[in-house]
Every structure is written in structure tokens, then in C-alpha cells.
Structure 1
Amino acid sequence: MTQIFAHRGYSAAYAENTMSAFIAAEKAGADGLELDVQLTKDDEVVVIHDEKVDRTTSGNGFVKNLTFKEIRKFNANKKSVKKEPIPSLIEVLEWMQTNQLICNIELKNGLFPYEGMEEKVIQLVRKYELCDRIIISSFNHYSIVLSYRTAPEIATAPLYNERIYMPWVYAQSIRAKGIHPKLASLSDEIIKGAIENGVAVRPYTVNKDADMHRLYKINCTSIITDDPVKALKIKKQYEKRP
């Protein structure tokens, strides 16, 4: 049955990429999380989507120009009085030891090719013994190949937003276990073709009821959604069927 990944946590109701959003996604019953990582000036792996902190926090500036100590002072929960820091990847992985969630770590190294990011993420995943519960994805496919070569035991998946012909052939050529395409670029034939060829399909970002119905009907591997609660509600309709 299709798995549900909470996009940046339960971001429809909580501040994205915060521990609150991740904990809420787990409580809601999501199978997994999707989160984004960048590197601070002092090489700490932090969980934030944008290269700059401006949109999602009370601070401003590029993540790469700020130290971990500086970045932790910002409030990643802008809409609330309740202050919440940008999480470190360590914090998330430690918490993951208390549950069974799968986690898709997206390396945000398309704009800035953070030196050594892959090795740092892999080192932490190995340290917390979570290799079998992590998927490393990126729009930077060189990074995906490097991750696979460094840690063949950790699943990888290229992210892309255009129509690729027989994407499972491409995925297999870079030793990726899955593909993470933009939903708009995805036909049912592609989904079925990839799954038949042993490649998992996890489209992003699936928020509309009609899209959820469509993907559940054809048993897509997973969906990446901002609203795991809605996704689970719709999924239950399919679980009852014989």
C-alpha cells in the first residue's frame, strides 16, 4: 500500500522543517518524513529548505555564512510566539531512534555545492544506525552518485521536475532505488513502468484530493504531501476495499 511521507513534516499545519512538524507527522500516522539539509559556516548539517534563512525564520542571511550558534538563535516558527529553533540533523536522527519512521533527506546542494555534505550526512546516518530507514535525494545528481559510492547501503533517489523518458533506466544507471519526480510531470504509465522495473516512485508535492485518489488507485510507492492527515483519511477508503 502507498506510503505517506510528510513534506517538511506536517507542514500544512506546523512550521516547516521543525521538530514540531516532524513530531506531528509521526503522531498523525505518516510512514515517513521528507526534510531538507544545508551546511552552516562551521559545517553543521541543519534542517532548512532555503539557502537563506529569511523566508522561514526571524533571521536573515545565507545558511552558509552563519555559524550553528548564530542560526540557532532564530525562530523557525515565525507565525507563533512559541520560539522554535532550526533543527540540526543530529537532533532529528536522535529522535528517529524513538520511532520507526523512514526519512527522506534532501541534500540542498544545487545552488551551493556544499563541500563534503554527502559524507557528513552519511557519517551521521551510520552513527545513528539508520541506514535502512534513510533515502538520500537531491536535484544534484552528481551528489546522488557520490552518496551511492560512499554508502551503497543507503537508498538514493534523484529529484527532477521534467519528463524523463523511461526514468527507471536512468535511475538504474546511477544505482538509485527510487525516483522523486514532480507530480505534474508524471503519467500513470511512467509510475507503473518504474514500479514494474523495481524502482520506487515518490512524487512531490501531492496535496489535492484528486491526485491522492489517482495515486492510491494505481498503488504508487509513496506520496510526498504537506498534509499527512488528509492523505491518511483518503488512503483509508482504499484500505477497506477487497
Structure 2
Amino acid sequence: MTPAEIRLRRPAGGPPRLLGHRGVRSVDGSEAPPENTLPAFEEAARQGADGIELDVRLCRSGEIVVLHDPDLGRSTRGEDPRHASDLPWAELRQVDLGGGARVPLLSEVLSFARSRSLPVNVEVKRDVPDRMALVRATARLLRSWDPRHALLLSSFDPPMLAALGLLLPYIPRALLVARDHHHEGVLRVAPVLGVMAVHLERTLSTPDRLRALQRRGFLVNIWTVNHVDEARDLASLGVDGLITDRPGCLRAAITHPP
């Protein structure tokens, strides 16, 4: 196991790793910075997150941008409904998401994370016009990635994960699994894909399922966990990480249980 992979796993005798979901999406007593922006990632670090989680897709001119939705509607509170895939970077970078925050490039967020020594979970989105174009662009960007810096590539899409494994065999990958009518079938694919981790939707995190994944050697992270009692329960079950909108709140809960 590489030093970077060790940083993704739960330390022996310690609490689960906390990954700031899109940075942060909740700040007690004040408005959170816009998700998936540099201010949100800075706030996650300030709250004590062990790492950050983010989403990537391509804009029209081919740059990899950090944005959850295909369009800007929710991020701009309905003021700009345009799709990222229709906008060149020169235009997309001008859109104000609130308080002067902008859609960042993945390369910018990775530079920030490297400067803070923060592990990064990059979700490669599947709701894009060309999935393999995004895979190839991600591979080009990360081909020279320093393996000492903890990075995890995740996706709901098994073919995308398989392609990333071929193009970037030295970067660990995670299969994202949501509760739906075929989630059991998706879970059976994980060993074939050769992924390091399985990221389960919180409602799938039964003790039996967690034990089965752990017996197979998978790192197990749970999303999206925001309630203190649930975080403590999952910590007691031995999960490696919690992806949360509230890293500061959960940090206090799992580090100093009642």
C-alpha cells in the first residue's frame, strides 16, 4: 500500500476520515460558501476536514471544471440556466456563483489541496455529453500526478472506472453506489473493476453489507452523512470515511463521543 493510499484509509484506533462534500454545504451560524468552489474547500479545511470531495465535467473548450450539475441553474439560484458543456472556459469563469466565487478548474483545486496536503476524492460525472472524452481529459491532466499526494477517482459508471483504471493504473478508484433497483448488481461488479474503495449511499450501510465489503478488503466510505448520531454509529461499524456537508460538526462528534 502506498503512502497516499494509507492516507485514504481509516487510521488504526482512530476515527473515520472526514471528506468535505463539495467542500462544505453547511456552516453553523452563517451561510456556507457556494459548493465546489475554492472558498468552500477552504472552509472545509478550516473546519478540520481530512480531505475534500468534488465533482468534475468538461466545459465546451475542453477544460475540466469543478461543478456538480450539468447546468448553472441551481448554483446561480436560477439566474443562469446555461449548461457548462455549452460554455467555453473564458465565459464560464466569469459566472458569479455568489460572493464573487467562481467555478474553478480541477487543476486549481488540486493545487489548493496539494498546498494544504489534503486528500482529494474526484467524482467523474456520468451525466455528460461524452463520457469517454471526460475520461481521456482526466487522464491527460493526472498523468503526471505525484503519487505521494492522496487522490481517489470515483464514479457511478463502471465503464468509466474501467477506462480510468487502464489509463491511470497508479491512481486508486472508488465505485459509487446509490440505492436503486439494481444496486446489488452494481456491488457485484466492484471486484471485477479492481477498485480500491466502495462509496455507499448512507441508506445502504447495513452492518452485514459493511462487513462483507470489509472482508473483501475494500475501503468503505459513506455518503452523505450529516447527523451526529448516524456518524457515531457508522464510526462504530468501522467505516473508513464519511462524506459530509458538515465536517466541523462531525469532527467534534466522532473525536469526542459522549
TM-score normalised to structure 2 length: 0.85
Any idea what SS the aligned residue of 2:116 has? coil
Alignment of 1:145-164 (within 5 A): 145-162=162-179, 163-164=183-184
- 1:172-211 deviation digits (Å, cap 9, x = unpaired): 2111001112111221111122122210111111011221
Tell me the residue number matched to 1:93.
110
Tell me the residue number matched to 1:123.
140
* Structure 1 position 73 matched with structure 2 position 79: no
Q: Do the aligned partners of 1:131 and 1:154 also contact (CA within 8 Å) in 2?
A: no
AA partner of residue 35 (structure 1)? L
Tell me the residue number matched to 2:225.
206
Tell me the residue number matched to 1:10.
24
Any idea what SS the aligned residue of 2:256 has? helix
Tell me the residue number matched to 1:237.
256
TM-score normalised to structure 1 length: 0.90
Tell me the residue number matched to 2:124.
107
* Alpha carbons of structure 1 residues 119 and 166: separation in structure 2 relative to 1, 3 Å: closer
Q: Do the aligned partners of 1:108 and 1:138 also contact (CA within 8 Å) in 2?
A: yes
Cα RMSD (Å) of the superposition? 1.9
Tell me the residue number matched to 1:185.
204
CA distance in 2, matches of 1:165, 1:213: 29
Q: CA deviation at 1:94?
A: 1.4
Tell me the residue number matched to 1:38.
57
Q: Percent identity?
A: 25
Tell me the residue number matched to 1:223.
242
Any idea what SS the aligned residue of 2:184 has? coil
Which 10-residue stretch deviates more, 17-26 or 95-104?
Answer: 95-104
Q: Do the aligned partners of 2:114 and 2:149 also contact (CA within 8 Å) in 1?
A: no
- 1:51-102 deviation digits (Å, cap 9, x = unpaired): 011110353211111100111111122xxxx211100001111112212211
* Alpha carbons of structure 1 residues 111 and 92: separation in structure 2 relative to 1, 3 Å: closer
Any idea what SS the aligned residue of 1:202 has? strand
AA partner of residue 9 (structure 1)? G
CA distance in 2, matches of 1:56, 1:124: 25
Residue segments in structure 1 that go unaligned for 5+ positions in a row: none
- Aligned equivalent of 2:100, options 52, 61, 83: 83
CA distance in 2, matches of 1:160, 1:166: 7
Q: Do the aligned partners of 2:147 and 2:170 also contact (CA within 8 Å) in 1?
A: no
CA distance in 2, matches of 1:61, 1:120: 22
Residue segments in structure 2 that go unaligned for 5+ positions in a row: 1-14, 27-31
Any idea what SS the aligned residue of 1:164 has? helix
